[in-house]
Amino acid sequence: MARAADEIDRLRKTLCEIIEANPRMWEELSEPMGEFERWAKSRAIHALGELLTPNE
């Protein structure tokens, strides 16, 4: 049970890092945010919402 909680916590932190990522911090992503970056952030936001919403 503790392992699952640790994995969920790590997943939550990773998703938050993706959501908060600033593409200008990386040279290869210095152009305006592209389609892939928009898609990645959208999916991370969706996954984090699913993770934080209790199952009904």
Cα(29)–Cα(23) distance, integer angstroms: 5
Domain that holds residue 41: 2-52
Closest CA to 11 of 56, 53, 44, 33: 44
In the chain, how many domains are there? Answer: 1
Cβ 12 vs Cβ 51: under 8 Å: yes
Helix (H) or strand (E) holding 9: helix 2-20
Chunked in runs of 10, what are the mean pLDDT values of the chain (56 residues)?
82 82 62 71 83 66
> What is the rounded radius of gyration, in angstroms, for the C-alpha atoms of the chain?
14
